[in-house]
Amino acid sequence: MAPNRGFALIGPLPFNDRPLTLGGATRLFEVMVDDARKQNRDYSLVVANPYDRGGLGGKIKNLQHVLSELEGPAKRHRVWVVNASQGGIQVLFPLLWLYAGLRGKKLVLRAFGAHLLDSIRASKAPGLLFKALRSVPLVYVESKALVEQVRAFNPRVGWFPNVRNMPVLHPDLSRPYARRFAYIGQIRESKGLPELIRVFDRLGSEFQLEVYGPIAEDGMRWIESDARYRGPLDAVGVQQVLAGIDVLMLPTRYEGEGYPGIILEAYAHGVPCISTRWKHVPEIVDHDRSGWLLEPGDEQALFERVRTLDTPTLERCRPLALAKAAEFDSEAVHRRIFDQLESLTTP
């Protein structure tokens, strides 16, 4: 069968029975696949994580599955698009680059988060990875700052921001301020959770904090004994929580932070965010408009920001957060990306 104008989408999906797969990258890939279906694009789906990655055996089974699928329905496509975070950049990307070369395919890399160049430098084969990065016909990264950094290695780099399939919502932007705050994301020390817990301990029971997400580090198991920790959420649960809170909390200093997708989902509900001037977060949080930016690790500033919030401030920022959501709606962004991918299918 001759290669056609379609493309193969290779990446990880979220599985509700495997909490550690419930994260930003899997949700982003799920939305991408969903939009390809809605736009009637000619594509094949190759799931990169059908098996639990625990141990070497799981990683090998996942790789075998990907290669098998690429020799199946995806074989008819001239363009393969690998969507990868840190581990996938270091392992799956170079292997698929070599394999695509053997099969006469064009491999495109879409890198989640802020990991790309750091992941390559920290890998066991940085020379091979940089060679692959320089040679692929397209590289997508999720922030404008990363575009400029990667351009030094490959001029064929494009901006692929985190997006969400924004629901059509009509939130009550004048609803009463209930002092209800939530963190939603992977449970990591570097996401600022220890300081967040300490700040709300100081604030007292007048301020309600809820913490949701899968525990990604054994060192954070202590949070299971805190009544504010409510466990992981599926996609429906995320929307239900966002609909009922006043402010999203993300005091991050996570090294791999790109555009946190949960901020965009909060915006769709007219919910502003308190976050940090860290990595690429300032590209999506307009200080004192769609949210507030603090210095990472500054507990006193975090305490004061929460303590002094009031109804007039929230009523001013809620419509600005809602308007910001429209900038990251998935349909238009994916239409541009899919058109670019289809342009690569010509000989």
Say yes or no to pLDDT of 323 above 80: yes
Per residue in 283-322, pLDDT tens? 999 999 999 999 999 999 999 999 999 999 999 999 999 9
Looking at domain 4-165+330-343, its CATH class is alpha beta
CB 306 within 8 A of CB 282: no
CA angle 6, 12, 15 (to 5 degrees): 125
> For residue 9, what are the β-bridge partners?
45, 81
CA dist 80 → 97, 127, 145, 193, 210 (Å): 10, 22, 25, 38, 40
Please give the pLDDT value at position 50: 85
Listed by start position, the domains of the chain span 4-165+330-343, 180-328
- Sort strands 180-184 and 247-249 into parallel, antiparallel or unpaired: parallel
Per residue in 227-280, pLDDT tens? 999 999 988 999 999 999 999 999 999 988 888 989 999 999 999 999 999 998
Residue with tokens 């899997």: 26
The CATH number corresponding to 180-328 among 3.40.109.10, 3.40.50.300, 3.60.150.10, 3.40.50.2000 equals: 3.40.50.2000
List of residues 6+ apart from 147 with CB closer than 8 A: 141, 157, 158, 159
Equal fold, 4-165+330-343 vs 180-328: yes
C-alpha to C-alpha distance for 334 and 166, rounded to whole angstroms: 13
